């Protein structure tokens, strides 16, 4: 079928809406009519070529929600008409990582995401000239329709607006999972959240729900700090470039129990390390461009500080995502307030530029107005 989709042709050139050809779903795949999709900082990195070579031409978009239109003959967990959000790690359940319970690190899913293919190593997307297009992170949801691996379409289970549900599959799972699974924040703990964009604000909200006693939001943009305070941060520290770590440590009485880095830069990773109390752990959620390195004062390992990575919430997204949807339905987790802009498919380039400038939290692309607000 012919659909409109946002295509990245070459890094550094603007993305544009093209009419492309989408093949129907194979046996283990699902065709979804996209309602809405969030624009994430990883899309900027992909568009800038910062995640490595060979990742274009590609249909972008890895965070979204929609309605199932057709399923392959081996798909049983969803049916046409079901409301789903996308998971960009449709784990196989059989590889070493999956068997060890670390489905977010599924090996074939990771490999295929890197190659821009679905789980069988092929693409369903072609451009007007017949050339193969890559599926952005196995999702390719800046498009009117998309075909994803079965496990990439996660049923929401509850009825929440799809323009809000579109954020679940990247920003929300990533932020909430970092708090719950990577850090294990407990009642009364102190937390620093460095970087309060689309994902950082989810970390703040999840830390609040987890009962953190002190939630210190750190950013260089006062508007984002305001949003963080509205989502449960107890303190806001505007980055000055010097003395930032001391200010955070002082607020937490000598250092925080958990620091979350949600930017992806060496200086903010170092800041996450510097605000820890002895024995505490920094969780790096932010994605850094390929080639970036970070250095730490090694003597401080004496104080049993630790730093660890967290990919996609360190969780099984198929399990976590419906749980988060229920929190949204019950009103305990608000998503509407982090959506600072909405646009249409032809507004993706502008949304990427906003992220490059560090403006606003999340832009949501309303692909199908009727579905998105239903
Ligand atoms: Zn993302
Ligand atoms: Zn696997």
Tens-digit pLDDT profile for residues 333-369: 999 888 999 999 999 999 999 999 988 889 999 999 9
- Identify which ligand lies nearest to the alpha carbon of 104: 2
Rounded distance from Cα 171 to ligand 1 centre (Å): 6
From 292, 318, 263, 282, select the one nearest 106 (Cα to Cα).
318
pLDDT number for residue 329: 97
Q: Chain-wide mean pLDDT for the chain?
A: 96
How close is the Cα of 129 to the center of ligand 2, in Å? 34
At residue 264's C-alpha, the angle toward residues 293 and 249, to 5°, is: 95
- Which parts of the chain register pLDDT below 50? none
Ligand 1 mean position to 261 CA, how many Å? 15
Return the SS3 of 200: helix
Q: Is the dihedral of CA 364, 366, 371, 374 positive or negative?
A: positive
pLDDT at 358: 85
What residues pack around ion ligand 1 (CB closer than 5 A)? Answer: 40, 42, 170
Distance between CA 233 and CA 255 in Å, rounded? 16
> What is the number of the ligand closest to the CA of 38?
1
Structure-token match 């795949």, residue found: 29
pLDDT for position 15: 97
CA 224 / ligand 2 centre spacing (Å): 36
| Backbone φ, ψ for residue 149 (5° rounding) | -60, 150
User: Residue 323 Cα, ligand 2 centroid: separation in angstroms?
Assistant: 22
Q: What is the pLDDT of residue 374?
A: 85
In 9-32, which positions are buried (b, 16+ CB within 10 angstroms) versus exposed (e)? eeeeeebebbebebeebbebbbbb
Ligand 2 mean position, distance from CA 139 (Å):
17
Q: Which residues of 255-264 are buried (b: 16+ CB within 10 A; e: fewer)?
A: bbbbbbbbbb
CA distances from 179 to 33, 118, 224, 283, 319 (A): 32, 30, 19, 9, 16
Quote the pLDDT of residue 360. 82
How high is the pLDDT of residue 359?
86
How high is the pLDDT of residue 105?
Answer: 98
Among 257, 250, 245, residue whose Cα is nearest residue 304: 257
CA of 108 relative to ligand 2 center, distance in Å: 6
- Ligand 2 center to residue 18 CA distance, Å? 33
CA of 289 from ligand 1 middle (Å) equals: 14
């Amino acid at each position: 079928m012919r659909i409109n989709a946002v295509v990245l042709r070459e890094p550094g050139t603007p993305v544009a809406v093209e009419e492309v050809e989408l093949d129907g779903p194979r046996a283990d795949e699902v065709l979804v009519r996209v309602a809405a999709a969030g624009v994430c900082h990883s899309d900027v990195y992909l568009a800038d070529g910062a995640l490595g070579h060979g990742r274009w031409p590609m249909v972008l978009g890895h965070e979204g929600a929609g309605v199932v239109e057709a399923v392959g003959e081996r798909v049983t967990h969803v049916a046409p008409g079901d409301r789903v959000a996308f998971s960009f790690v449709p784990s196989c359940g059989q590889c070493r990582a999956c068997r060890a319970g670390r489905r977010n690190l599924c090996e074939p899913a990771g490999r295929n995401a890197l190659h821009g293919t679905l789980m069988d190593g092929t693409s369903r997307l072609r451009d007007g000239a017949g050339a193969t297009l890559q599926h952005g992170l196995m999702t390719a949801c800046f498009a009117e329709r998309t075909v994803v691996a079965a496990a990439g379409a996660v049923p929401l289970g509850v009825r929440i607006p799809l323009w809000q549900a579109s954020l679940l599959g990247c920003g929300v799972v990533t932020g909430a999972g970092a708090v719950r699974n990577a850090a294990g924040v407990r009642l009364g703990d102190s937390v620093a959240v460095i970087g309060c964009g689309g994902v950082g604000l989810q970390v703040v909200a999840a830390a609040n729900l987890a009962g953190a006693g002190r939630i210190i939001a750190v950013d260089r943009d006062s508007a984002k700090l305001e949003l963080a305070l509205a989502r449960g941060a107890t303190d806001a520290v505007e980055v000055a470039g010097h003395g930032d770590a001391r200010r955070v440590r002082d607020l937490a009485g000598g250092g925080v129990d958990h620091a979350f880095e949600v930017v992806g830069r060496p200086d903010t990773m170092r800041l996450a390390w510097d605000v820890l109390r002895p024995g505490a752990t920094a969780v790096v959620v932010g994605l850094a461009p390929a080639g970036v390195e970070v250095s730490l004062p090694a003597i401080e390992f004496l104080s049993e500080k630790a730093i660890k990575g967290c990919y996609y919430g360190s969780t099984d997204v198929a399990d976590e995502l419906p749980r988060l949807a229920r929190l949204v339905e019950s009103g305990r987790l608000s998503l509407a307030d982090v959506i600072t802009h909405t646009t249409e498919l032809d507004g993706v380039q502008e949304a990427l530029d906003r992220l490059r400038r560090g403006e606003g939290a999340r832009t949501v692309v309303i692909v199908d107005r009727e579905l998105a607000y239903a």
